[in-house]
């Protein structure tokens, strides 16, 4: 059960960071409430990893301030778990030795640390690897060991930078389960990805970044309310025609989707429930549902609003490339 | 501080507690040292006894009479130490030869051909022909000619030659009614022992060793500091190339990481210096020459090791943090290596003149200070205390400045990937952090 509160766990105020002539993060302000499962989204090079590194006090902003757990992340490092985008491991070290080392650096020790390592190795389905050298593990297994290193200290805040990248579907599902479980325990999870549909399934809060600028920082409910497409998806039964053009509250409709569905666009004041009932009364249908907006559509719309049509088209193309690459990898 | 110590322990463990390090640093020198000690105990020249007949053609018979005494097996004790050293210097040192020979006296020179034929037929081992005037010390042309079989053993020939020589000397002494034993005792060089006067008493001088000591200390310092710095470079590059750096920095600050790595490798260096130092001191005790080293010199070596190590570590940690692999490191290592080779060029002029201009000036150039000063303070003419204090201030100041610069490069460099930076970019990094 998520225990979200209004107390911000992570706060950024007018944060900017440049590398040479490149402005990686540009005047970003945001607050991530305690207990939320927050998706940090944007295409590659948007500034997600730089922002996360500043939250972790690995690098420092040129301007603005960053606070984590009420102070500097440097002081709270033992309460934060971090899985960086670039996975790292000591190749010649044994798995157990590596985890003991990271655990000790996180302030753990003694039998409790060994107990935690044993528990988590079982939990992520990696038994019998404790004495193996890291380079003997497959890439996916190494990634799970790295995830384990991030959660070993039972963190209040868990920051995962592209956690599903390179994982097979079985391990991705396992990781998904664990992330939900940790979120249900009340931990704040910041989860960065460029694959927007993953965030849709998992997150209750979304932060959208593009070219170092913050586009959006709201809850999923707010996104649904704010970007409600006012559209119903209807799949008629036996190709029976629907008489939608004279129905009150309907602006227009488009038929002929791949699945034979009809998109019914509603007036802003129309009650979708009433129109759904009306359609069902009119003729039997295979299904009728309220169409939900995708994060990709939200992203493109926000880019269009802030940077114009051409930029939105570029953003759409970027996202479709990323999505295709991701599918190919999977 | 605790996290720094955890990093330091990992650095030490993964560098020093490895098979390669233990064999290379501890066992290999131990094996060499043990080999020398054991070898000196068990390896002795082989001993042989020469049996046969030596004919001495001596018209006067005086040399033959002397030879009878010199060739007496009871009297013959093998070559003296001086004779063995002479043999060694000529590269002819061989077996220890005992002579158990029969002597035949001949006075008629016309018998020579007959005697030579008996040698050819191996009836005789050799024929010694005593020339005229051999007993006359003013006659430099007097000689004894020894005829031997072509297959005769060179060690045996040497032993016979030496004993014939002694026989001639004995004959000369007898002719002049001198006591041979006393004469030989008079001619023996006495042992010269040099004692160095110290504030509290006296100590053995070991003059040659004393000359070598400053160079040995400099080499020890350089090897240990450089080896540890090199380990620091490779472990930093390994952490960058394995992408483990960001994981570490999520748990500790860059400064904690850098400090831990430097401390860990410093302990490796101290460990190495202790091993080599103990072997060296052990060798001095073994050869009863331990008086040549004073405790204060060992303290100086340790103090200058820390100074040298911090300077080299600053260079190596900066380079290691700035590059992604060893190949990239080579470009930045070249100027650092050129600087580190300077002590090897300086060791001759500094050891020959520890208070000369070159030694004094280079003592005040921080990267060189520990190497030059360790040679100067352990030399027979150490510099004035004021100069030692002044160079300590300059040296430690330099080490602190280098560490400060390293810290600024390290915290930027550890997260940088891609093209290695140029020296100009490194300077820019100093402004970033």
- Asked if the interface predicted TM-score (ipTM) of this complex is over 0.90, the answer is no
pLDDT given for residue B370 in this prediction: 92
- Cα separation of A26 and A212, whole Å? 5
Q: What CA–CA distances, in Å, run from A277 to A53, A255, A267, A282? A: 50, 19, 16, 9
- Residue B216: the pLDDT is 86
Contact call for residues B294 and B38 (beta carbons, < 8 A): no
B92 exposure class (CB count in 10 Å sphere: 0-12, 13-18, 19+):
exposed
CB atoms within 10 A of CB B326: 14
**Phi-psi domain of B49 (left: phi exceeds 0; alpha: psi -120 through 50; beta: other):** beta
Taking the C-alpha atoms of residue B55 and residue B32, their distance in angstroms, rounded to an integer, is 49
Do the strands A22-33 and A285-290 form a parallel or antiparallel pair, or are they unpaired? unpaired
Greater model confidence, A68 or A283: A68
A8-224 has which CATH code? 3.40.50.300
| Distance (Å) from the alpha carbon of A76 to chain B's nearest alpha carbon | 9
Domain spans in chain A, listed from the N-terminal domain onward: 8-224, 230-290
The sign of the CA dihedral B401, B423, B240, A328 is positive
SS3 content of chain B, % helix, strand, coil (to 5): 65, 10, 25
Chain B environment of A57 (Cβ under 8 Å): 253
How far apart are alpha carbons B259 and B366 in whole angstroms? 21
Q: Where are the alpha helices (DSSP H) in B323-368?
A: 326-352, 357-363
Mean pLDDT of B406-417: 81
Q: Which residues of B touch A90 (CB under 8 A)?
A: 238-239, 242, 244
Return the number of other C-beta atoms located less than 10 Å from residue B143's C-beta: 14
pLDDT band of B154, cuts 50, 70, 90: confident
> How far lies A102's CA from each of A79, A97, A239, in Å?
13, 9, 62
Contact B242 A84 (CB under 8 A): no
Pick the CATH number of B47-187 from 3.40.50, 1.20.1280, 2.115.10, 3.40.190: 3.40.190
Average pLDDT over every residue of A90-116:
89
pLDDT grade, residue B389 (50/70/90)?
very high
Residues B240-263: pLDDT tens digits? Answer: 887 888 888 888 888 888 889 999
Between the CA of residue B346 and those of B29, B312, B363, what are the distances in Å? Answer: 26, 18, 11
User: Does the beta-carbon distance from B246 to A86 stay under 8 Å?
Assistant: yes
d(CA B117, CA B140): 30
Nearest to B242 among A91, A104, A107 (CB): A91
Residue B201 phi, psi (nearest 5): 165, -130
Q: How confident is the model at residue B6 (pLDDT cuts 50, 70, 90)?
A: very high
Q: Calculate the CA B307 to chain-centre distance.
A: 25
Q: Per-domain residue ranges for chain B?
A: 47-187, 204-432
Confidence (pLDDT) at B118: 92
What's the residue count for chain B? 433
Q: Distances in Å between the alpha carbon of A261 and those of A199, A232, A257, B57? A: 26, 10, 5, 135
Of B237, B428, B409, B317, the C-alpha closest to A18 is B428
pLDDT tens digit sequence for B267-284: 999 988 888 888 888 887
Of A56-65, B82-91, B114-123, B320-329, the one with minimum mean pLDDT is B82-91
Q: Which residues of B touch A77 (CB under 8 A)?
A: 250-252
Closest CA to B312 of B394, B367, B236: B367
Residue A136: helix, strand or coil by DSSP? helix
| Cβ-proximal residues to B32 (8 Å cutoff; 6+ apart), any chain | none
Verify whether the Cβ–Cβ distance A59 to B10 is below 8 Å. Answer: no
- CA-CA distance, B278 to B272, in Å (whole number)? 10
* pLDDT, averaged across chain B: 83
Nearest residue in chain B measured CA to CA from A81 = B250
Assess whether pLDDT exceeds 90 at residue B392: yes
Range B349-367 average pLDDT: 88
pLDDT of residue B309: 92
CB contact, 8 Å: B205 with chain A?
Answer: no
Residues of A in contact with B7 (CB under 8 A): 105
| Residue A91 zone, left/alpha/beta (φ > 0; ψ -120 to 50; rest) | alpha
Using the Cβ of B408 and the Cβ atoms of chain A, whether some distance falls under 8 Å is answered with no
DSSP secondary structure string, B363-423? HTSTTTHHHHHHHHHTSSSPPPHHHHHHHHHHHHHHHHHHHHHHHHHHHHHTT--SSPPPH
Per mean pLDDT, which of A240-244, B295-299, B428-432 is the most reliable?
B295-299
**Under an 8 A CB cutoff, do A56 and B251 touch?**
no
Indicate whether A1 pLDDT > 50: no
User: B2-16 vs B207-241: helix axis angle to the nearest 10?
Assistant: 110
């Amino acid at each position: 059960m998520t225990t979200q509160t209004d107390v911000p766990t992570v706060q950024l105020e007018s944060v900017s960071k440049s590398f040479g002539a490149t402005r990686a993060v540009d005047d970003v302000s945001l607050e991530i409430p305690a207990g939320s499962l927050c998706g940090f989204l944007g295409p590659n090079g948007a500034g997600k990893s730089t922002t996360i590194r500043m939250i972790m006090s690995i690098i420092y902003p040129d301007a603005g301030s960053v606070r984590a757990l009420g102070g500097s992340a440097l002081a709270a490092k033992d309460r934060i778990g971090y899985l960086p985008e670039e996975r790292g491991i000591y190749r010649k070290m044994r798995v157990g030795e590596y985890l003991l080392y990271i655990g000790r650096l996180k302030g753990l020790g003694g039998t409790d640390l060994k107990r935690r390592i044993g528990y988590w190795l079982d939990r992520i389905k990696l038994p019998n690897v404790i004495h193996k050298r890291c380079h003997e593990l497959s890439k996916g297994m190494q990634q799970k060991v790295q995830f384990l290193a991030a959660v070993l200290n039972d963190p209040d805040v868990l920051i995962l930078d592209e956690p599903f990248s390179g994982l097979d579907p079985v391990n991705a599902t396992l990781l998904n389960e664990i992330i939900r479980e940790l979120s249900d325990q009340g931990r704040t999870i910041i989860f960065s990805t460029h694959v927007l549909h993953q965030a849709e399934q998992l997150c209750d809060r979304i932060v959208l970044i593009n070219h170092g600028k913050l586009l959006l920082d709201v809850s999923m409910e707010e996104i649904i309310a704010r970007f409600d497409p006012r559209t119903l998806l209807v799949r008629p039964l036996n190709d029976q025609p629907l008489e939608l053009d004279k129905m009150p509250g309907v602006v227009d409709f488009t038929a002929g989707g791949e699945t034979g569905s009809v998109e019914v666009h509603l007036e802003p004041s129309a009650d979708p429930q009433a129109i759904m009932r009306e359609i069902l009364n009119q003729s039997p249908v295979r299904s009728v549902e309220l169409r939900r907006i995708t994060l990709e559509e939200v992203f493109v719309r926000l880019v269009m609003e802030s940077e114009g049509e051409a930029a939105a088209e570029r953003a759409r193309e970027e996202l479709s490339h990323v999505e295709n690459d991701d599918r190919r990898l999977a | 501080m605790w996290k720094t110590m955890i990093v330091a322990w990992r650095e030490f463990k993964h560098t020093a507690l490895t098979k390669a390090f233990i064999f290379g640093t501890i066992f290999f020198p131990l094996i060499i040292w043990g080999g020398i000690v054991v070898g000196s105990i068990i390896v002795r020249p082989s001993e042989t006894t020469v049996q046969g007949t030596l004919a001495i053609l001596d018209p006067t018979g005086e040399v033959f009479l002397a030879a009878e005494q010199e060739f007496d097996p009871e009297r013959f004790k093998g070559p003296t130490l001086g004779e063995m050293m002479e043999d060694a210097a000529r590269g002819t040192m061989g077996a220890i030869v005992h002579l158990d020979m029969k002597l035949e006296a001949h006075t008629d020179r016309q018998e020579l051909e007959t005697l030579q034929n008996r040698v050819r037929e191996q009836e005789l081992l050799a024929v010694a022909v005593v020339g005229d005037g051999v007993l006359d010390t003013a006659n430099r042309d007097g000689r004894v000619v020894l005829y031997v079989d072509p297959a005769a053993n060179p060690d045996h020939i040497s032993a016979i030659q030496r004993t014939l020589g002694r026989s001639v000397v004995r004959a000369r002494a007898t002719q002049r009614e001198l006591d041979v034993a006393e004469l030989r005792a008079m001619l023996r060089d006495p042992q010269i022992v040099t004692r160095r006067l110290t504030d509290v008493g006296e100590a053995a001088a070991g003059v040659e060793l004393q000359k070598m000591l400053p160079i040995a200390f400099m080499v020890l310092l350089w090897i240990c500091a450089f080896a540890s710095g090199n380990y620091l470079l490779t472990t930093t590059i390994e952490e960058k190339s394995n992408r483990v750096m960001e994981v570490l920095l999520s748990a500790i600050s860059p400064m904690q990481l850098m400090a831990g790595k430097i401390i860990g490798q410093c302990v490796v260096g101290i460990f190495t210096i202790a091993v080599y130092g103990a072997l060296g001191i052990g060798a001095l005790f073994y050869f009863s020459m331990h008086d040549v080293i004073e405790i204060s010199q060992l303290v100086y070596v340790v103090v200058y090791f820390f100074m040298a190590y911090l300077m080299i570590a600053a260079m190596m940690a900066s380079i290691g943090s700035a590059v992604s692999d060893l190949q990239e490191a080579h470009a930045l290592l070249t100027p650092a290596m050129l600087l580190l080779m300077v002590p090897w060029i300086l060791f001759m002029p500094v050891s020959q003149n520890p208070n000369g201009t070159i030694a004094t000036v280079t003592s005040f150039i921080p990267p060189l200070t520990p190497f030059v000063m360790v040679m100067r303070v352990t030399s027979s003419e150490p510099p004035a205390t004021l100069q030692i204090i002044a160079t300590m201030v300059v040296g430690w100041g330099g080490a602190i400045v280098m560490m400060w610069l390293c810290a600024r490069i390290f915290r930027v460099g550890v997260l940088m990937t891609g093209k290695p930076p140029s020296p100009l970019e490194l300077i820019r990094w100093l402004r970033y952090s």
